[in-house]
């Protein structure tokens, strides 16, 4: 027989025996809200601080009053700088600010702003206020990083990117990260630290990845992020540039992450036991909690995980330098990966598992391209049906100009500097700089420096706006001119002879070879060298002193470092 149920009186008495108080001692009457992430707290706090300052000049102000709520929304709109050189922010941005404010109001006061007020202010922002002060009404078109654009992006990174990265290993790291995003349809926060979880260190760590050697003598890695789906990544059979294992292996070897192996030859020699299908290549114990994608300084990896803000900024600049008219986002990669999965006739359940989604409507509403994949022309005429042209249309979502202006030409820069509004900002900056120099009080100096920084930002936005206007007017050269005409794009070609690792990789990465070939092994070794180099050295390998003297025979000057 089971245990007999106790009566309500017996249960209440048991609670009293365990410390229950009938007088509600220690119980308050406060509303308890769901905890929010630290990053969200900072966003709420930013808007709340603005409201606090607003109340100082408007005592007794309450957002329950429609006129006050509209007035505060106007303040938010006029105090927010637009992006991409625009004077005003997007109306959706202001609406997000308003939503954060009434959410924070509820948490701070325990009362909720009436629904009619919230709806009125929303319509005011999207209507009258937008028209009156000129809030930006543009919306970013969904982008799709197709295979062609993906190859262009990677090729540019290794052949033409003139950006001075803090360490050459950043190229290896970024290539590996892009491969994982493309081949797993991952969200930004699955590999690097999400902005919404800033300071948490979440992302891809060695602990959640596993490298196998299988009976077919091919390496396979499994990537699993918290509750996300697991993704198998394997050795490629095309060109090394798009082989993820080559770059992941180079990073692991450079950081000495393997427990039992220290060289590439040892790893490639691993074979499963006769009665096993695979052999696991274990990580060192002290590497398990280290991030796979780490920030880098001039000496190498720092041990800290790359943040989503940093990676987005890097990808944005990288794609603009490659000639794309707007910065590429990781979600552009994810959209194309899911479109490809759908095109390859995977089931809805398989695609949802691949994407880490629970609702099948999400793909239709947020990821599918607006263009129909049905060949209406072929269907109507009864001719052969086509799909090959669809990807080309998706590529156009990320338009590219091979000769995209990267900076203002001298003539346009001079014209901008002569504009009254630009010149006035310069005068104010010089005046504030002089005030800062003469001011002794630290608090006053900080206020002046903050005002000067705002002017610097304003001047930068004016420059960006002028550059965007120039870009919209056309390319820096005709379509018949060589893509490498811009002197910046030919920088690597001029210096590659003193960069032996990159010189070798610039050719070898594009050859039809595989990891286990002689050329493939050389590629990994050169990638490891890039990751391990100390970029603080004054000289690149071919320029370092030989026997304390300049390596150029006609010089041979003594050099002490």
Question: Looking at the predicted structure, is the pLDDT value of residue 331 above 90?
Answer: yes
User: Which H or E element spans position 533?
Assistant: none
Number of H helices, E strands in the chain: 22, 6
- Report the pLDDT value the prediction gives residue 313, as an integer from 0 to 100: 93
Inter-CA distances, 80 with 198, 453, 454, Å: 23, 15, 12
Please indicate whether residue 398 or residue 475 has the higher confidence score (pLDDT): 398
Average pLDDT in the 192-211 region? 85
Distance separating alpha carbons of residues 346 and 89, to the nearest angstrom: 41
Within this chain, do residues 288 and 191 fall inside the same structural domain, yes or no?
A: yes
Residue 147: pLDDT band with limits 50, 70, 90:
very high
Specify the range with the lowest mean pLDDT, choosing from 42-51, 168-177, 243-252, 478-487: 478-487
Question: Looking at the predicted structure, is the pLDDT value of residue 227 above 60?
Answer: no
Query: Distance between the two ends of the chain, CA-based, in angstroms?
Result: 87
- Report the pLDDT value the prediction gives residue 223, as an integer from 0 to 100: 60
Say which residues have a Cβ less than 8 Å from residue 489's Cβ, sequence separation at least 6. Answer: 160, 162, 483
Within this chain, do residues 129 and 151 fall inside the same structural domain, yes or no?
A: no
- Report the pLDDT value the prediction gives residue 547, as an integer from 0 to 100: 75
Distance separating alpha carbons of residues 449 and 126, to the nearest angstrom: 35
Say which residues have a Cβ less than 8 Å from residue 100's Cβ, sequence separation at least 6. Answer: 43, 44, 47
Q: End of a domain among 69, 100, 133? A: 133
Residue 28 lies in a domain: no
- Report the pLDDT value the prediction gives residue 471, as an integer from 0 to 100: 85
Within this chain, do residues 218 and 122 fall inside the same structural domain, yes or no?
A: no
Residue 326 lies in a domain: yes
Distance separating alpha carbons of residues 224 and 205, to the nearest angstrom: 10
Say which residues have a Cβ less than 8 Å from residue 418's Cβ, sequence separation at least 6. Answer: none
| Residue 440 burial (C-beta neighbours within 10 Å; 0-12, 13-18, 19+) | exposed
Question: Looking at the predicted structure, is the pLDDT value of residue 298 above 70?
Answer: yes
Return phi, psi of residue 305, to 5°: -75, 145
Residue 368: pLDDT band with limits 50, 70, 90:
confident
- 281 forms beta bridges with 211
Count of structural domains, the chain:
3
- Report the pLDDT value the prediction gives residue 224, as an integer from 0 to 100: 54
Average pLDDT in the 257-270 region? 90
Torsion angle, alpha carbons of 417, 423, 428, 434, to 10: 60
- Report the pLDDT value the prediction gives residue 560, as an integer from 0 to 100: 58
Residue 430 lies in a domain: yes
Dihedral-angle region of residue 474 (phi above 0 means left; psi in -120 to 50 means alpha; beta otherwise): left
- Report the pLDDT value the prediction gives residue 537, as an integer from 0 to 100: 56
Q: Average per-residue pLDDT in the chain?
A: 87
Distance separating alpha carbons of residues 500 and 497, to the nearest angstrom: 6
| Residue reference for tokens 């992020």 | 225
Within this chain, do residues 66 and 124 fall inside the same structural domain, yes or no?
A: yes
Q: End of a domain among 71, 100, 133? A: 133
Within this chain, do residues 185 and 267 fall inside the same structural domain, yes or no?
A: yes
- Report the pLDDT value the prediction gives residue 483, as an integer from 0 to 100: 44
- Report the pLDDT value the prediction gives residue 196, as an integer from 0 to 100: 79
Distance separating alpha carbons of residues 417 and 295, to the nearest angstrom: 37
Within this chain, do residues 261 and 292 fall inside the same structural domain, yes or no?
A: yes
Neighbours of 73 (CB within 10 A): 22
Within this chain, do residues 55 and 153 fall inside the same structural domain, yes or no?
A: no
Average pLDDT in the 403-414 region? 89
- Asked if residue 208 lies in contact with residue 224, where contact means CB atoms within 8 angstroms, the answer is yes
Closest CA to 163 of 307, 295, 318: 318
Within this chain, do residues 120 and 258 fall inside the same structural domain, yes or no?
A: no
Question: Looking at the predicted structure, is the pLDDT value of residue 561 above 80?
Answer: no
Residue 18 lies in a domain: no
Q: End of a domain among 421, 450, 472? A: 472
Residue 329 lies in a domain: yes
pTM value is 0.82
Q: What percent of the chain lies above the pLDDT cut of 70?
A: 91
Within this chain, do residues 317 and 440 fall inside the same structural domain, yes or no?
A: no
Question: Looking at the predicted structure, is the pLDDT value of residue 253 above 50?
Answer: yes
Count Cα neighbours of 31 within 13 Å in the Cβ-side half-sphere.
9
Question: Looking at the predicted structure, is the pLDDT value of residue 292 above 90?
Answer: yes
| Residue 296 burial (C-beta neighbours within 10 Å; 0-12, 13-18, 19+) | buried
Residue 129 lies in a domain: yes
The two tokens of residue 329 are: 């986002």
Within this chain, do residues 246 and 307 fall inside the same structural domain, yes or no?
A: yes
- Report the pLDDT value the prediction gives residue 440, as an integer from 0 to 100: 80
Host domain of residue 257: 147-335
Residue 226: pLDDT band with limits 50, 70, 90:
very low
pLDDT digits (tens, 9 = 90+) for 447-499: 999 999 989 988 998 998 899 888 887 655 544 444 445 677 888 888 888 88
Within this chain, do residues 84 and 214 fall inside the same structural domain, yes or no?
A: no
Strands (E), 70-217: 209-214
Residue 417 lies in a domain: yes
Within this chain, do residues 224 and 317 fall inside the same structural domain, yes or no?
A: yes
Query: Residue-wise over 35-44: b if at least 16 C-beta within 10 A, else e?
Result: eeeeeeeebb
Residue 201 lies in a domain: yes
């Amino acid at each position: 027989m089971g245990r007999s149920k106790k009566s309500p009186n017996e249960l209440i008495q048991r609670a009293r025996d365990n410390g229950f108080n009938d007088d509600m001692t220690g119980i308050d009457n406060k509303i308890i809200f769901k905890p929010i992430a630290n990053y969200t707290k900072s966003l709420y706090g930013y808007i709340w601080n603005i409201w606090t300052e607003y109340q100082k000049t408007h005592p007794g102000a309450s957002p329950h009053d429609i006129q006050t709520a509209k007035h505060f929304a106007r303040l938010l709109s006029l105090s927010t700088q637009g992006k991409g050189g625009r004077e005003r922010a997007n109306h959706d941005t202001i609406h997000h600010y308003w939503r954060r404010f009434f959410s924070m109001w509820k948490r701070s006061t325990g009362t909720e702003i009436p629904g009619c007020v919230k709806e009125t202010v929303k319509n005011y922002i999207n209507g009258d206020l937008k028209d009156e002060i000129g809030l930006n009404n543009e919306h970013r078109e969904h982008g799709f990083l197709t295979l062609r654009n993906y190859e262009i992006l990677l090729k540019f990174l290794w052949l033409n990117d003139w950006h001075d990265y803090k360490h050459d290993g950043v190229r290896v790291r970024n290539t590996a990260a892009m491969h994982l995003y493309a081949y797993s349809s991952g969200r930004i926060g699955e590999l690097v630290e999400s902005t919404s979880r800033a300071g948490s260190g979440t992302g891809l760590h060695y602990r959640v990845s596993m490298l196998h050697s299988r009976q077919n003598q091919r390496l396979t890695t499994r990537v699993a992020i918290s509750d996300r789906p697991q993704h198998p990544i394997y050795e490629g059979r095309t060109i090394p540039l798009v082989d993820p294992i080559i770059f992941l292996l180079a990073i692991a070897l450079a950081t000495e992450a393997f427990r039992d192996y220290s060289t590439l030859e040892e790893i490639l020699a691993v074979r499963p036991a006769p009665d096993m299908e695979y052999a696991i290549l274990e990580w060192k114990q002290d590497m398990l909690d280290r991030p796979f994608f780490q920030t880098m300084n001039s000496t190498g990896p720092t041990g800290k995980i790359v943040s989503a803000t940093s990676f987005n900024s890097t990808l944005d600049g990288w794609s603009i330098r490659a000639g794309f008219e707007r910065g590429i986002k990781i979600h552009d990669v994810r959209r194309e990966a899911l479109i490809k999965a759908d095109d390859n006739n995977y089931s809805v359940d398989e695609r949802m598992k691949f994407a880490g989604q629970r609702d099948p409507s999400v793909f239709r509403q947020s990821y599918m391209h607006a263009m129909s994949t049905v060949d209406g022309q072929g269907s109507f005429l009864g001719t052969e049906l086509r799909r090959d042209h669809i990807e080309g249309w998706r590529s156009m979502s990320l338009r590219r100009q091979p000769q995209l202006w990267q900076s203002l030409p001298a003539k346009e820069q001079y014209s901008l500097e002569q504009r009254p509004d630009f010149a006035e900002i310069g005068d104010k900056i010089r005046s504030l700089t002089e005030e800062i120099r003469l001011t002794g009080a630290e608090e006053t100096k900080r206020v002046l420096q903050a005002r000067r920084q705002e002017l610097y930002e304003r001047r930068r936005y004016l420059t960006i706006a002028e550059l965007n206007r120039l870009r919209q007017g056309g390319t820096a050269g005709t379509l018949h001119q060589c893509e490498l005409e811009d002197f910046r794009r030919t920088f690597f070609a001029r210096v590659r002879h003193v960069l032996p690792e990159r010189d070798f990789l610039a050719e070898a990465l594009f050859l039809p070879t595989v990891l286990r070939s002689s050329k493939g092994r050389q590629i990994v070794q050169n990638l490891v060298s890039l990751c391990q180099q100390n970029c603080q050295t004054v000289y690149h390998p071919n320029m370092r002193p030989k026997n304390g003297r300049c390596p150029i025979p006609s010089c041979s000057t003594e050099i002490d470092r």
